[in-house]
Each structure stands twice: as C-alpha cells, then as structure tokens.
Chains A and B, each alone.
Chain A
Amino acid sequence: MSRIGKIARRTFLIGSAAIVGGVAFGVYAARKPAPNPLRPEEGEVALNPYVLIDADGVTIIVPKAEMGQGVQTTWATLAAEELDIAPADLRIEHGPPGKAYYNRGMGGQILPVPEYKLSGWQEALGEQLSVAGKLFNMQVTGGSTSTVDGYEKMRHAGASARETLKEAAAQQLGVARSTLKTEGGAVVAPDGTRLPYPELALAAAEIDPIVADLRPRGDWRLLGRSQPRHDQAPKATGTAEFSIDVRLEGMKFAALKRNPYQGGAMNGFDPADALAIPGVEQVVDLGDGVAVVANNSWSAMQGAEAVVFDWGAGNYPATTDAIYARFEEALKGDANSTLLDQGDADTLPQGAQEVSADYQVPYLSHAQMEPLSATAIHHGDRMELWSGNQIPIHCRAAAAEEAGLDEIAITLHTTLMGGGFGRRGFTDFTRYAARLATKMQGTPVQLLWSREEDMTHGYYRPGAIAKFRGAVQDGKAVLVDGRIAGQSATASFMKILLGIAPAGPDKIHVEGAFDQPYAIPNARIRGYLAKFDLPVGPWRSVGASINGFIFDSFIDEMAHAAGADPLDFRLQMMREEDPRSAGVLEAVRDISGWTGKTPEGVGRGVGFCYSFGTPVAEVIEVHQTEDGIKLAKAWIAVDPGLAIDPANIEAQMFGGMMFGLSAAMHQQITFADGAAEQMNFYDFDAVRMNTAPEVVEVKIIESGHRVSGVGEPGTPPAASALANALFDLTGQRARRLPLADQFDFVV
C-alpha cells in the first residue's frame, strides 16, 4: 500500500493500491494534493483506478459511456502505448461510478469565448475549471471531450504501472531497473528472462508508484495508427451486452407509460384492460406514469397501451405554431447573450449590399437505435442497477433517492449503449427503473421504453428560429448581425448535473454562430431564450447542430450575393483569423476538386463549422435523377490537432455527417394538442444505405494543435452543405428544416 504519488508533470497525481491478488494504478489531477481516490476514507465508495493487474491479467478501466464512438478502445490504447502490452491482451471494463473519474476535458467549453481563440492561459484556466468539475461529480461522457480527457492521464497510468512493475522485477532479480525493458505484457531482463506483469503485481503493490515521463510522439507504436476495436467480434455475434440485454434469474419485464403532455400530472388511471392481457401481471403506479409488469416485454407494452389514463396538461404551448410564436416573442424581449459584438452592427456600411434571411429548425428526437431501458433489483438494504448512461454518478444518486438508500448501497453497472447522442446524459430512465424496483422489492425487473414512448418524450433537441442581416462589399462580408431564439438545452442539462440552471449568457444556445473563425469587421450574435417546460437537452453537437446550419447557410447566401465562389468567400475571411480552419477548407476544396462550377443536373455545396475545438468542412454533391434528388458524394476534411486513431476519426466524421444529414432531410418532432406527433421510424426516418452519399474521402489534417474531439464536429456542417448543394442544383434556397418537405429526394 503506497502513499500519495509525487506530483507528476503539470497537475497529475499518481496513486496505487493493493487489491486482492494484485495492484491498481490511478492518475488524477487536482490543483492541490487531494485525497488519493485509490484509498478512500472509510465509508466512501472504493477504488477508482485505470489500470488493474492481478493473476488474471491486465484490465483497463474506461469509465466512459461506450455509445459506438470507440472510447473504450482509444483509452485502452493510450494506456497500452506506455504499458507495452498488446491491446488485444487487455480486458476493458467500465467500472463503478467514481468521483476521481471526473471529466477534465470540459473546462475549455465553459469559457464564453470562441475556442479557436483560446490562448494558453485560457486553456489552463479551462483545465482548472474542469478540476472544479470534480466538485460537481462530473463523470460525464459528452461534449466530444473523452480523448481530450484521457490523452495524458491514461498514458500516465500506463507509464506509472510499467515503471513500478519494472521496479518490482528489479528488486526480485537484484538488478537495476534501468537494465530492464518491457514488451508484450512482461518485464524482460538482460538475460532474456521474462516476468509477466501478473507475476509482479503483488510485489508492485508494495512499491510507491513511480512517475515516468511520457514517451515522445516519435516513439509511439500504437497511437496515431488505426487500432482494431476490441468490441467488433462481440458486436458481430450478438454477444455484446447492451442495457436492454440484461437478464437476471426471475426477472420481470415492464413497459413504461408516461403522460404524452410532457411533465403533466397523472390524475388517475384504470388498469383493467391491461390486466386482462395474457402475460400481464400487474400495473404499478409510478406517480407520473405507470409500469406494466409482465412475463415478456411485448405483453407489457401491449398492456401499457391498454391502460386508460386521465392525464393533466403539460406546461408548454400545445402546438408547434404556438411554440414558434413564443420564439418570435422572445426576439422582442431582452437578449440573453451577446457573445459576439464587434464593430458597428447597427449601421449598414456605405455602399454595401444588404442581405437578410430568416431560418427555422425543428425539435428533434435522438432516436438512438436502442430504446431506453434500465434494470434494477431492490434487495431491501441495497440496490443493484444496470443502465446505459453518460452520467453514472448522477444516475446512482437518482437511484439512491428512489430506493431510500445511501449511495454506497447502490451498485450501478454502466452497460454498452446502442447509441446515445446526448439522450443518455439524463437520469430519467435509470430513475424510473429504480422507482419500479423499489415497489417490487426482491424481484429483478427491466423497465423498457417502447420506441413510441421514447420518441414522444424528450429531452429533445430544441427547435429555434433566427433572423440574420448582413452586408457584402467587394466580394467580402462586411456585416453580420444574427439573432437566434429558442429553448435552452443547457438549462435542463445543467439542472440535472448541478442541481441548478446557471444564470447568465447561454453560450451553447449560440455556439456554431458566435464563435466561427471569420474576420468580419461588423459582427454581432445575440441569443434569446423562450422559457417553458418542454423537456429539451443536448443532441449530438448541441447548439452547433442548430447554428451550424443557420450561420453557415447565411454565409453561403452572402457569398452568392457578393458574386463570390462560396468556398473561396469563406476562405478569404478565414485565412488570417484561424489558419487551422482555413486548412480544412483548403483540404476539402482539393480533395473534392472544387471548381465552383457544376454541370446541369449536379449540385455541390460546401459547409463549415468549428465546434468542440475541431474545424470540419464538408462538400456534398447531389444529382437530379428520374427518381428524385440523390445524395451522390461527400468529402470531409477535419483537423483534430492530433489523429490518435485515424480509422475511428473517419468513422466519427462520416457518422456525424450522416446524423446531420438524416435530421436535415427527414426529421422533425412537431406538437399538436400538447403531444408530440411523431411516433417511430416510419415518421421520423433517417438516411439509409440506398440514400446515403458515397464518401469519397475523409482528409485528416494534424496541425499539431492540442488534441480535440471528433464525436460531434462532423454533424454541424452537414445540413448547410446539403442545403447549399440543393441551392446550386435548383436555385431554391432552403432556410427551414427538414428539407424533404421542400425537395423531392430519392427514397
């Protein structure tokens, strides 16, 4: 058992602890020495390490939501790079909720300045704010931060484990540590003697963990190269276990039914018809909804539809038109934010040509492939839960509240997730399962949301409207003045994370618009918030999913008004402002062979957005065919600073673009009589294999800027690139989504 490790480079602390049959290594960051999370105080939940070594081998703990983005493989590879072990020989586990697993990558996103302008001291401040995140239990997977978060600490964990294992071997062999090397999961002596790590684990636990410098990039053997994902064979054989796949002895299957007037009360219900369905066993009152419990999920879902309810109204406008009227009204009130305000945005520069346009985007469901579910059993004095979630500490707290137990009595298993896209960053599905299990003590129960239940209940991507006014002169934009109104996704999410909705300017509401790298002398972006209780939240790329379309579409409109090539127009205003962004635009120009000219029947559009620290540019080509407009080809350029795993970056870029295209073409949640109108994939469709564009190339640029995320930045430019391509093809400008309402696509 060791003492707290020395303060490592920057602010990292390294600790180790003995475990049964082995040793655990952890790395954590703090502004000042903090309690070693590997050695908790009495009564605290134990042990939050990253590397565990015991007789069975080496296990890497990746306390991040694996939703398809490959974070488990990336984090394991970061540790393996220093640990000298084949990634295929590692076991990977999510591990329990733990405060030491707070996300140190989110700080830079808190500062109300464009990320491309962050200076060194601001980045440092951002990291310190992340450390403050520890106070807020910010074990969060989101904001494209996982690689940023793990980039140094997982390598430190690997390096410390390696050197400490070498020291254990050195003592055993009676040689100096410097004479030893490591390879293939073993320490190797000069005479060739191999000591596998598990054989050294017990001895290593007796040694103070050793801090080592990280290997320079030039020495990397794994990082920077595409790694096979460890989850491929399980996912190709149906053996990967998702939340919905948890099966316990004697488990009951339950379906949730809540008020379609979201947040409204349940005044009463009659379960008789449900109870008459074969297989249905009971209908449990959950306060604001019911769970129908059966011996199979289908009977439970049939039962949930058969219960007769008396629902109260929701506290929000009852129709789509009424909701958007509230946005119009918000524009007449005070701005919540003016995060970009330079030059004189009130005055049209002399001789300049004015351009103006209004935009509207819809509410959206996440529609992750796996409908929400969680499984729980209440043992009376403790509860065990399984849920695929992005915020395990908060889910555990919610379960404890429902179960009437201390958090220490809650064991939460975070499973693989069949997509998340932000929806799993809430506690509701875990909380309802805990509530149900508390009412069925001793019986394990899985609480499933039907697709309809999932789709008709937010937290939705909020809709928005925007009014933009600008001016062009001599081929350049000289003015942009944008006003964006909508519901705040931040407020509801922060209320879950922090318990309060922070006051002040909502940066996320205007991200993708106020923070774009263009030198426009007179520029102002103002955000306006409409407040009502329709549940909204983060959706892949959050504010940039809205403003990426609006702002970049407006840039494109100004380019055409100026008589300029739309790509070159962007580039001219970007070169001085942010060379890194200009680099991706030049790259997408080159790989797509952009000429600004397209033959009859072909349209091309470019889209650009800087989000989550990563600039992405996309070109989409559409073809007019006999069957309608076909998305034919796409090209993507991205600069994540460093490319840790190129194949995974490509997958995230294409996937992010597809997510954006699906929404842009097909998706909207509308409201009538207070309820969401869309139910399932038949009225909330996505791009399919036959309607997806061929991705000709994804170009990854490594500017050497600090590593930045890739999970979300592929999404924002997709809608504008497509809308701009449709304009090129048809001359019709799309200022409203979804596009399938206005254009005849191949289906």
Chain B
Amino acid sequence: MANLTINGETRYVDLPDEVPLLWALRDGLNMTGTKFGCGVAACGACTVQIDGEAVRSCQVAVGDVWGEVTTIEGIGTPDNLSVLQAAWVDHQVAQCGYCQSGQIMQAAALLAENPSPSDAEIDDAMSGNLCRCGTYPRIRAAIHDAASKMQEA
C-alpha cells in the first residue's frame, strides 16, 4: 500500500509494496498508457519518469518509488499535445503504437537533460527502447524536430 505522486496528483495504491510500479499504474489505477512488454527491463515499453529520470517501471517496486512519477498521461492529451507528442504526430511515428508511450517518455527525459541531442546521443538514450515495427527513423526525426521547437519556444 502506498501513496504516490503521479502526474502531480496524490494517488493511493491498494496493492502490496513489492508490486512493480508498472502494475500499480496499470492494474491498481487503471492508467494503461504505460505498457507491459517484457517485465525484465529489456524492451523499454514501461518507461516512466521518477523525478524526471527515465526508469523502467517494471523494475521499481511501488514501495521503493523515491519521487514524483510522470507517465505518458501526464505530459499531454489528444486535445492538448505536448511539443514532443505533437512532433510524434507530425512525423506519423506510430505503427502498432504499443512501444510509443515508452519511447516518448524516454525521449522526454533525454530532451530535458540535453536540449539538442546529436544522432549518436539519441541512439545512446533510445537503444533500450525496442520497436518491432521499425519506427526508429521517424522517432529520431521527431526528437530532432521537438528539440528545435522547444528551443524556439
């Protein structure tokens, strides 16, 4: 059982402390934007941020969450897209779309730390996030595009 701060709101999770954050979000709070892909930090589909750092939520027990959690639901909505999400739409990134929540949360953490990443820096940050449809070129393009839009802003 834990009180968590998620997307700026305090939420009570009525699940055992050892349950990973991923499942607290998905099953405890019905916040299904964060996805299950592997359960072993091998695919990145479950990426969220804790205090701005990208983490694999399948590997963080809900009792061990050390800061404020930000999920895909916290950074924008279809009617009010964040700059990064808008770049994702502009570049038509998604195919099946299942990995994209994790890709976006990883990319958001990258841009917060490095506002103008090079291709190599994007590769370094994003290579833990698997996509089976092969959307990588458009992910890269969307990150570059969002980076320049954020700098203009």
Contact = CB atoms under 8 A, between A and B. Distances in A.
Contacts of B73: 237-239
Interface stretch (A343-351, A542-550, A574-582, A682-690): A682-690
Interface stretch (A240-248, A263-271, A527-535, A556-564): A240-248
Contacts of A416: 96-97
B97 A680 contact: no
12 contacts: A232-B93, A236-B93, A247-B32, A278-B18, A298-B19, A299-B15, A299-B19, A651-B138, A686-B132, A688-B130, A692-B137, A695-B137
B49 interface: no
B81 A236 contact: yes
Given A232-B88, A297-B27, A451-B38, A237 B77 contact: yes
A237 B97 contact: no
Contact of B92 (A228, A237, A239, A247): A228
Contacts of A690: 123-124, 126-127
Contacts of B98: 242, 368-370, 418-419
B67 interface: no
A68 B140 CA distance: 19
Contact of B134 (A233, A244, A448, A655): A655
In the complex, which of the residues A67, A368, A421, A690 has the most CB atoms of chain B within 10 Å of its own CB atom? A690
Interface in B30-49: 30, 32-40, 42-43, 45
Contacts of A370: 35, 37, 96, 98
Those 9 A-B pairs whose CB atoms lie nearest each other, nearest first: A238-B33, A418-B98, A68-B96, A235-B97, A658-B134, A68-B95, A238-B72, A655-B134, A235-B94
Contacts of B24: 296
B137 A451 contact: no
Interface in A432-471: 448, 450-451
Interface of A: 67-70, 228-229, 231-242, 244-245, 247, 253, 278-279, 295-299, 301, 367-371, 416-421, 448, 450-451, 647, 651, 654-659, 662, 680-682, 686-692, 694-695
Contact of B20 (A245, A298, A658, A681): A298
Contact of A245 (B32, B85, B94): B32
Contacts of A68: 94-97, 133
Given A451-B37, A688-B127, A692-B134, A682 B97 contact: no
A283 to B, nearest CB: 18
Contact of B95 (A69, A241, A245, A682): A69
B85 A237 contact: yes
Given A229-B94, A297-B36, A299-B19, A689 B123 contact: yes
Given A232-B89, A247-B32, A654-B137, A371 B94 contact: no
B100 to A, nearest CB: 5
Interface string B78-108: 1001000100110011111111110010000
B96 A297 contact: no
Nearest to A73: B92
In the complex, which of the residues A450, A654, A689, A691 has the most CB atoms of chain B within 10 Å of its own CB atom? A689
B30 to A, nearest CB: 5
Contacts of B37: 369-371, 451, 681
Contacts of A682: 40, 42
In the complex, which of the residues B73, B100, B101 has the most CB atoms of chain A within 10 Å of its own CB atom? B100
B98 to A, nearest CB: 3
B33 A369 contact: no
B131 interface: yes
Nearest to A695: B137
Given A298-B19, A367-B132, A417-B96, 11 more contacts: A67-B96, A228-B89, A236-B76, A237-B33, A237-B72, A239-B77, A247-B30, A253-B27, A368-B132, A680-B38, A690-B127
A371 B36 CA distance: 8
In the complex, which of the residues B35, B88, B126, B139 has the most CB atoms of chain A within 10 Å of its own CB atom? B35
Contact of A419 (B16, B72, B133): B133
A67 B85 CA distance: 21
Contacts of B36: 244, 297, 371, 448
B12 to A, nearest CB: 15
A631 B25 CA distance: 38
Nearest to A417: B96
B20 A238 contact: no
A233 B89 contact: yes
Contacts of B140: 689
A244 B77 CA distance: 20
A238 B96 CA distance: 12
Interface string B115-153: 000000011101111111111111110000000000000
Given A299-B19, A369-B98, A450-B39, A238 B71 contact: yes
A594 B39 CA distance: 44
A295 B15 contact: yes
Given A279-B19, A680-B40, A235 B100 contact: yes
A680 B33 contact: no
Contacts of A278: 16, 18
B11 interface: no
B81 A233 contact: yes
A371 B129 CA distance: 16
In the complex, which of the residues A228, A655, A659 has the most CB atoms of chain B within 10 Å of its own CB atom? A655
A75 B136 CA distance: 25
A301 B95 contact: no
Given A232-B92, A658-B134, A689 B42 contact: no
B78 A647 contact: no
A279 B16 contact: yes
A375 to B, nearest CB: 12
B97 A239 contact: no
A270 B8 CA distance: 44
Contacts of B34: 238
B127 A659 contact: no
B95 A681 contact: no
Contacts of A419: 96, 98, 132-133
Contacts of B127: 688-691
Contacts of A298: 19-20, 22-23, 27
Contact of B89 (A236, A241, A680, A695): A236
In the complex, which of the residues B43, B76, B78, B134 has the most CB atoms of chain A within 10 Å of its own CB atom? B134
